[in-house]
Amino acid sequence: MKKDTKNNIRPPVVAILGHVDHGKTTLLDAIRKTNVVAKEHGGITQHIGAYQVKFQENYITFIDTPGHAAFEKMRSRGAEVADIAILVVAANDGVKPQTVEAIKHIKKANVPTIVAISKTDLPDINIEKVKKDLQKEEIVAESYGGDVPFVDVAATKNKGIDELLEVIQLVWQISPQESLPKDPLDAVVVESFLDKHRGAIVSVIVKKGTLSVGQKIQVDNETIKVKALIDDIGKNINEAFPSKPVEILGFKNTLEVGSIVRQTIKTKDESDQQAASHSDIIAKALEAKDKFKIIVKADVLGSLEAIKENLPEKVLIISSAVGDVQSTDVNFAKGAKAPIIAFNTKVLNSVAKQADQEHVVIRNYEVIYKLIADLEEIAKSFEETKHEIKIKGKAQIVATFDVEGIKIAGSKVTNGKISAGDKIILRKENGKGIESEILSLKKFRKEVKSVEAGQECGVAFKNNLDFLEGDIIESLG
């Protein structure tokens, strides 16, 4: 890319944000005249992609940020690296929860905003309602007296694309930033992954300075040399100027998304970049007494981060890495007694066979929100199983009566046994549990220490519980 020698203004970096299925990638597809949507699983963008287009002799760099809630963290980073944010809202669907989340990230990034109302070629659209709903979120259209430009688009019909690009240029002309190719290098990592043949691939957008083939970069006290630069259309280039998105070959390890490439590489959590030893994993597994343990392998760091950010509270990652599932992962999983969660990664037949022989579970996923949904179900089942294991006895309340002002639960023990002094959970019909303690047990007006399955008794609780016939007493011993 040649820099603008006339006014020396760097191209704007634009982030596309919005709700899932509102047409963000389809919009970029129309802009770039390439078919990205067909390559995405389920039509959902899985990683941050950066692309550059030329319009009226000027360049614009786009970041395609993921739209599903599972990618909130990545979407936030997309807004932070951008100069302008485009909020995509479908004319037939309106403002949704992830639209509101995207607005939050845009406001946090404090960048100019343009609203692209998408799918305007469909029936049953209501553009005015979209504008009014956005106004409630403090995104006020110019036609409503605000300062946010709105553009109607229909990407599949190529409608409104030129108008949108023109508005981007107009917004950038209000507060442009100078291109600084001679300044010290400053580039932002927008993706990083391991390639089977090329090794670690780091995708960046240059913010200032110039990135060149052969350039030496200091990484954690180790100097690496840029082996190759590949632009967004797969072409090898010798140098990248400000706002240029490019892949860098030459790193030995992947970098965390959001890292800054300068004279040194600043990673936010260097411990994540270090491979855990077998003993480290086992030690961590033993510490996780109340959590469901998993090992995660993902295709790229962006995916790994999204998984970590959306883990259910009761799930603990004891080991995570980028790349295909290896034999060593199976060994770790066996020792830690943990399943392997694989996202968009390969499992060789030999590794799958080893896992089967070692009774190690490997679950493969191609869409992150399905992975998260499964983990939520697993966590729920894990909690229920743990609770069932703790239960020493169960009784059902079959009658209620008062004795000297104390409410007594006439109960029949259905499983195990219950004893005086037991900690209990009173389980209501709606599943809600109330903690208490058994104060005393009586059989035929005689106080007893315990009652076993098949027997009936009267139960008095430590505190005055509000119980009904049909409620269940779960004794935890």
Question: Which of 243-256 are b and which e, b meaning 16 or more Cβ less than 10 Å from the residue's Cβ?
Answer: bbbbbbbbbebbbb
Q: 401, 410 in Cβ contact below 8 A? A: yes
Report the pLDDT value the prediction gives residue 1, as an integer from 0 to 100.
Answer: 42
Report the pLDDT value the prediction gives residue 202, as an integer from 0 to 100.
Answer: 87
Pairing of strands 406-419, 450-452: antiparallel
DSSP 8-state secondary structure symbol assigned to residue 10? P
Pairing of strands 433-443, 456-461: antiparallel
Q: Which amino acid is at 279?
A: S
Burial class from Cβ neighbours inside 10 Å (0-12, 13-18, 19+) for residue 474 reads: buried
List CB contacts of 349: < 8 A, sequence separation 6 or more: none
| pLDDT tens for each residue of 314-355 | 888 888 888 889 888 898 888 888 899 999 898 888 889 999
Pick the closest to residue 198 from 238, 236, 233, 242 (CA basis).
Answer: 236
Report the pLDDT value the prediction gives residue 188, as an integer from 0 to 100.
Answer: 84
Pairing of strands 84-90, 228-231: unpaired
Report the pLDDT value the prediction gives residue 289, as an integer from 0 to 100.
Answer: 63
Q: Which amino acid is at 341?
A: I
Q: Among all chains, which residue has been given the structure tokens 């614009």?
A: 60
Sign of the Cα torsion 383, 384, 387, 388 reads negative
Domains and CATH numbers, the chain: 13-174 (3.40.50.300), 186-269 (2.40.30.10), 275-379 (3.40.50.10050), 393-475 (2.40.30.10)
- pTM for the whole structure: 0.62
Query: Which residues is 195 bridged to in the sheet?
Result: 199
Residues of the chain with pLDDT below 70 are 1-7, 34-48, 65-79, 218-223, 263-289, 382-389
Q: 55, 61 in Cβ contact below 8 A? A: no
DSSP 8-state secondary structure symbol assigned to residue 195? E
Q: Which amino acid is at 433?
A: G
- What the block records as the tokens of 125 is 């659209």
